[in-house]
Amino acid sequence: MKLKKLEIIGFKSFYDKANIQFPQGISAVVGPNGCGKSNIIDALRWVMGEQSVKQLRGKSMEDIIFSGANDKPPLNMAEVTLTMANDNGHAPEEFRDYAEISVTRRLFRSGESAYLINKQPCRLKDIYNLFMGSGVGSRTFAIIQQGNIGAIIDAGPDERRLFLEEAAG
Ligand code: ATP
């Protein structure tokens, strides 16, 4: 499966809907400090089912909902949709026939939340199952956060083994 598109609204610094396309090849996000580059990675982790608030650089899950900035009022809901091209047959059996698979996660300030696959409500477990074996996941080394390359290089043999085992699933 390949990353195709990420739609973000109400998540962290994204007040207006952002539609980020990932064309064939390498994509880079460039911008000044604090403009929200890492928030895009947080959105990606979150939609893939991340449960750790710390991994999302917040104190509580509510912190991921747009809290207001530059005269824009706080929002009550965050929603992220990740669309993947299903081009290598790594999707689970029930999704084999779909050319594209979309995953959506929603969170309301009330605490209510929802997960959807191809716009159909599903369980968090279904989201994990979808990514399992695909080489992508909120905690695999398909996503390497700032400072982690250094950690891998500086690791001793035992720690490095853990990194490799985690990457290998
Ligand atoms: P750096 O270059 O320093 O790594 P960055 O471009 O990756 O920065 P981020 O860390 O992604 O930037 O974004 C930080 C911005 O997101 C800050 O301006 C912060 O106020 C804003 N932000 C984070 N959470 C929220 C939220 N819930 N509501 C509104 N804005 C938020």
> How confident is the model over 10-57, as pLDDT tens digits?
999 999 999 999 998 889 999 999 899 999 999 999 999 988 888 888
CA distance 89 to 33: 38
Mutate to test the pocket of ligand 1, among 8, 9, 12 (most ligand atoms within 8 A of CB): 12
Task: Evaluate if residue 141 carries a pLDDT over 60.
Answer: no
What's the pTM value of the predicted model, to 2 decimals? Answer: 0.86
Q: Which residues contact 79 (CB under 8 A, 6 or more apart)?
A: 7, 8, 9, 10, 11, 104, 105, 106, 107
Instruction: Please tell me the predicted confidence (pLDDT) of residue 132.
Output: 77
Ligand 1 is surrounded, with C-beta below 6 A, by 12-13, 31, 33-39, 63, 65-67, 69
In 13-144, where does DSSP find H-type helix?
37-47, 124-131
Instruction: Please tell me the predicted confidence (pLDDT) of residue 55.
Output: 83
Q: Which of 111, 120, 164, 142 is nearest to 48 (CA)?
A: 142
